[in-house]
Amino acid sequence: MYEWIRALHLISVIFWMAGLLYLPRLFVYHWTAKSGGDLEQTLILQEKRLLKIIMNPAMIASLIFGLILIYLRRDALSGQFWLYGKLVLVFCLFGYHGFLSKTRKLFESGARPKTEKFYRMINEIPALMTIVIVILAVIEPF
């Protein structure tokens, strides 16, 4: 059963990360779109659907399956400091997800909250965090 839960956790994380990487890219396009134009309306719809249909459920599933994995391995994980580092980074990703959600609502209301360059730069955050999280989870360095 553990391996099935682990597989479902990884699948959920992949979908969540895809959204975390793609939504800021949509914000770049949205920032450059003409206010009130057809492209902006299309991007508002895409951003909303990405967040509500893919990202939110994938984040929740990742959390649930991750907690189940921790529960199933609770004896083996005591004193495993790599897990605490991973969890800190995961909670940072929850915050990043919340920031993207709030930003989507601002774009929907017609605001352009940050610069196009800002969204290009923050697009790298989940990728870098994922590298560290995977190393911590696979290598278990400390």
The reported pLDDT for the residue numbered 79 is 76
pLDDT per residue, tens digit, the chain (142 aa), is 999 999 999 999 999 999 999 999 999 999 999 999 999 999 999 999 999 999 999 999 999 999 999 999 887 777 788 888 999 999 999 999 999 999 999 999 999 989 999 999 999 999 999 999 999 989 988 7
Place of tokens 């990043």: 96
> What is d(CA 35, CA 14) in angstroms, rounded to the nearest whole number?
33
How far apart CA 43 and CA 28 sit, in angstroms, is: 10
